[in-house]
């Protein structure tokens, strides 16, 4: 019965090894399921985080665009005010220049019946800005 005993030992060892292999296969399948579940959860978390970041970036973009628009409007208003003031100053200057040219033209064409300069011995007197 030695051969049968040896054969039973081999069969028992094979049965134990089969059970170990089945347990290992079950363990591998569980690991695969855990990897799938974990990676799906991590992927969803990552997508959620990126969606939050996109939302935050969109809000920041809108705030920055609004600030740029407000700054543009403010600067444009200031420049338009300066432009209007300069145009008004130019108009006044042109009117003054025209009046001065007319006065010069009138003085040059005025009849010469006005008294000329005083004789040298009488002098001019005090300048007008020092008179009271």
Tens-place pLDDT, residues 19-64: 999 999 999 999 999 999 999 999 999 999 999 999 999 999 999 9
Contacts of 124 (CB under 8 A, 6+ apart): 118
pLDDT band at 118 (very low <50, low <70, confident <90, very high): low
Instruction: Answer whether residue 34 is part of any domain.
Output: yes
Q: Residue 123: phi, psi to the nearest 5?
A: 75, 180
Instruction: Answer whether residue 41 is part of any domain.
Output: yes
Calpha distance 97→90 (Å, rounded): 10
pTM of the predicted model as reported, rounded to 2 decimal places: 0.49
Instruction: Answer whether residue 57 is part of any domain.
Output: yes
Number of alpha carbons in the 13 Å side-chain half-sphere of residue 5: 2
Instruction: Answer whether residue 46 is part of any domain.
Output: yes
Instruction: Answer whether residue 130 is part of any domain.
Output: no
Instruction: Answer whether residue 129 is part of any domain.
Output: no
Domain boundaries, position 83: 2-99
Instruction: Answer whether residue 91 is part of any domain.
Output: yes
| Total count of domains within the chain | 1
Alpha helices (H) in the chain, listed in sequence order = 2-109
100 within 8 A of 106, measured Cβ to Cβ? no
Q: Residue 39: phi, psi to the nearest 5?
A: -65, -35
Mean pLDDT over residues 61-70, rounded? 98
């Amino acid at each position: 019965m030695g051969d049968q005993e040896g054969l039973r030992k081999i069969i028992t060892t094979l049965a134990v090894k089969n059970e170990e292999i089945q347990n290992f296969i079950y363990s591998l399948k569980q690991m695969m399921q855990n990897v799938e579940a974990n990676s799906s959860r991590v992927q969803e978390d990552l997508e959620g985080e990126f969606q939050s970041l996109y939302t935050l970036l969109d809000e920041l973009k809108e705030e920055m665009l609004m600030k740029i628009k407000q700054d543009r409007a403010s600067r444009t208003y200031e420049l338009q005010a300066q432009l209007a003031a300069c145009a008004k100053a130019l108009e006044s200057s042109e009117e003054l220049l025209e009046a001065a040219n007319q006065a010069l033209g009138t003085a040059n064409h005025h009849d010469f019946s006005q008294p000329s300069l005083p004789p040298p011995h009488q002098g001019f007197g005090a300048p007008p800005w020092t008179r009271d």
